[in-house]
Structure 1
Amino acid sequence: MRRFFIGSAAAALIGLLLAGVAYWAYWHFHARFQPVTINRNQAQIQRLLDEASWVSDGAGGQAVYIVSYRDSASAQRYEREEAAKLRAAGVEVRYIVFARADREGLAQSTAAERATVAELWLSRDWMLHQRWMATPSRSWTAAGVPQADGNLARTAVVDASRQFDEQLSLLLKQAGVRVTYPLILWRDRQGFLKACACVDSRSWSALRDDLSAPDRVGQPAPDEEVINPVEEPLQIEPVQPAAPADDGALPYPKLSPTPAAAAPSEPYAPYPLARPEPLPGPFAPTAPQPQPRPQSQPQARPQARPPAPSQPRPRPPATTRHAPQAQKQDDTTFY
């Protein structure tokens, strides 16, 4: 009997131990990344979000706040994979970026990052935020942005971003939120304020469900037929000859192909042959008699060909001429 009680106690202890391990595993791998409904400090948290210098594209709609620093890999992944889905649901995504404070004398932010954070908090320039996020952090030099180091006003703005992060983290920890980045805050359909440390992608679906966001951007409706011309090859049916119409008309006769023309017996002359000249003498052909022309409208006469220029006549060779001499003539008798 004693052995039975000892075995039962050992089995109960082992069962409690296994239950504790299962609960710890669930909390460690699943529950700690799930959204938390904030029951404490709601007004203070909302006031901090409203007073912060967030930036957005100004699309309007329900506000979702994403708090992070520039080099957070999980925040960049969430922006790359989930931000478009939230915008498709008509949500205005508001970004709040801060510069991390130094830790044990080691700077956790660069001068270019601090200058950009100060400029975003002062100007709330959406295009600057887009260019900053699209550029690798090592390549970002903050060209054209005033430096924050050495500027008391801009340094105070950088410190204000750090104070905002410290106060928000303290209020969320008191409400039971495990603070990791990105921190995402929104209100559900009933108006309750929720927060999510969305490091793990398993928590993203709960946020999409609260905001009625699609799982994929551009996903077709369930009842819409999807036609993919790339995967379905085009079916080409052979053309069938049309049947003759039964209207009493004779069918069109089938013509045999025309045979190739026979080659000419004489070679083809590309130019007309020269006309033979008439024979001289009595063998010359009789000239044809002119036929009277029918009266018709006068036609323009062809212009006469200009006469060929006459060549100069050659002169005889020059000879020596002597003066005439007197000659005696016979007397002439006149009767």
Structure 2
Amino acid sequence: MRRFFVWSALAALVGLLIAGGGYWAYWTYYARFQPVTVSRDQESIQTLLDEAGWISAGGGGSPVYIVGYRDSAAMQRYEREEVPKLKAAGAEVRFILFARPDREGMQQSTAAERATVAELWLTRDWSLYERWTATPTASWTAAGIPAADDNLARSAVVDAGQKFVTDLTGYLRNSGLQPRYPLILWRDQQGFLKACACTDPRSWVFIRDDLGAPDRIDSDVPVELGLEPETQPEGTPPLDYPDLPPIPDGETAPADAGDEAARPSANPSAPKRPTTPPPAPKAQRQDDTTFY
């Protein structure tokens, strides 16, 4: 009986270890990358998104909101790799940019960034957003854009963007989401509002599944040029195939006799040598010569 209890306790311990390891693997490799279904404050969140100064290239499909700041490397990568897939599924991608507030007395945004954010919120100019994101941050000077720091109205717009982010992240924390950027919000096919702090690429697949977006886009697909095939005018007879001279049977034409005579021999005869060699010269003695 004692041995039975020992083996039972050992089996229970092994089972607990296996269950704990399975839960750890499930959380580490799958669950923590899943989006959060917003269960509270859905109406308030939707009102914030509708009233924000978002910008879009159009599309007219199901809106997908991407919230972030200019220097976010994860947001730039998501826009470069995933946004074309969402557009291929018919979604309308809406970007909401904000300038990060100061942190412990240190500025996290530049004057050019604040001026551009205020201009985007006021005008929703998509071409301005394209120029801004195509230019390196260090080279962007916001030329031609009114400054926000010395303008009370534009400073209020920048502050409104920061308040929008504070309110939005507060609502999402109530649903269990820890905000990180890019912060993406969308509605699935059943109409449920979902949110994702998509800093890791392993979270992106859930958005594609909800929106029916492809996993990849083939860039080598040929483009139809729309050219119509040429048609023969009515009443014009087709051209006859031209008559060509017959082709000779031999591969090479025979050479003329004159050419054979003029052509030098391939093995010319060597010059004849004399039969008897000439006699060798005789030695002669010369007289001594006296030099003075």
Deviations 1:34-76 (A, max 9, x none): 1221121111111110000100012211111101111111111
User: Is the Cα contact below 8 Å between 1:184 and 1:196 reproduced in 2?
Assistant: yes
Q: Give the equivalent residue in structure 2 for 1:190.
A: 190
- Count how many residue pairs are aligned between Structure 1 and Structure 2: 235
Distance 2:248 2:118 in 1: 90
Q: Give the equivalent residue in structure 2 for 1:67.
A: 67
5+ residue gaps in structure 1?
Answer: 222-250, 264-335
Tell me the amino acid that sits aligned with residue 114 of structure 1: R
Distance 1:164 1:117 in 2: 13
Distance 2:248 2:182 in 1: 82
Deviations 1:204-225 (A, max 9, x none): 112111111111123899xxxx
Query: Whose helix fraction is larger, Structure 1's or Structure 2's?
Result: 2
Identical positions, percent? 65
Tell me the amino acid that sits aligned with residue 19 of structure 2: A
Q: Per the alignment, in what secondary structure is the counterpart of residue 94 of structure 1?
A: strand
Deviation (angstroms), 1:2: 5.4
Q: Does 1:257 align with 2:250?
A: no
5+ residue gaps in structure 2?
Answer: 222-245, 260-292
Deviations 1:97-118 (A, max 9, x none): 1111111111111111111111
User: Is the Cα contact below 8 Å between 1:32 and 1:178 reproduced in 2?
Assistant: no
Following TM superposition, the consecutive aligned residue runs of length 4 or more in structure 1 with deviations greater than 3 angstroms are: 1-22, 218-221, 251-256, 258-263
Q: Give the equivalent residue in structure 2 for 1:212.
A: 212
Tell me the amino acid that sits aligned with residue 201 of structure 2: S
Distance 1:3 1:101 in 2: 66
Deviation (angstroms), 1:23: 2.6
Q: Per the alignment, in what secondary structure is the counterpart of residue 140 of structure 2?
A: coil
Deviation (angstroms), 1:253: 6.9
Q: Per the alignment, in what secondary structure is the counterpart of residue 55 of structure 2?
A: coil
Deviation (angstroms), 1:7: 6.2
User: Is the Cα contact below 8 Å between 1:36 and 1:194 reproduced in 2?
Assistant: yes
Q: Give the equivalent residue in structure 2 for 1:164.
A: 164
User: Is the Cα contact below 8 Å between 1:33 and 1:199 reproduced in 2?
Assistant: no
RMSD: 2.7
Q: 1:257 to 1:21 in 2, by over 3 A?
A: closer
Q: Give the equivalent residue in structure 2 for 1:173.
A: 173
Q: Give the equivalent residue in structure 2 for 1:121.
A: 121
Deviations 1:147-197 (A, max 9, x none): 111211111111100000011001111012221111111111111111111
Q: TM-score if structure 2 supplies the norm length?
A: 0.72
Distance 2:46 2:168 in 1: 10
Q: Does 1:143 align with 2:139?
A: no
Distance 1:82 1:148 in 2: 32
Map 1:1-335 onto structure 2 (within 5 A): 5=5, 8-9=8-9, 12-13=12-13, 15-16=15-16, 19-218=19-218, 254=249, 257=253, 259-260=255-256, 262=258
Tell me the amino acid that sits aligned with residue 257 of structure 1: A
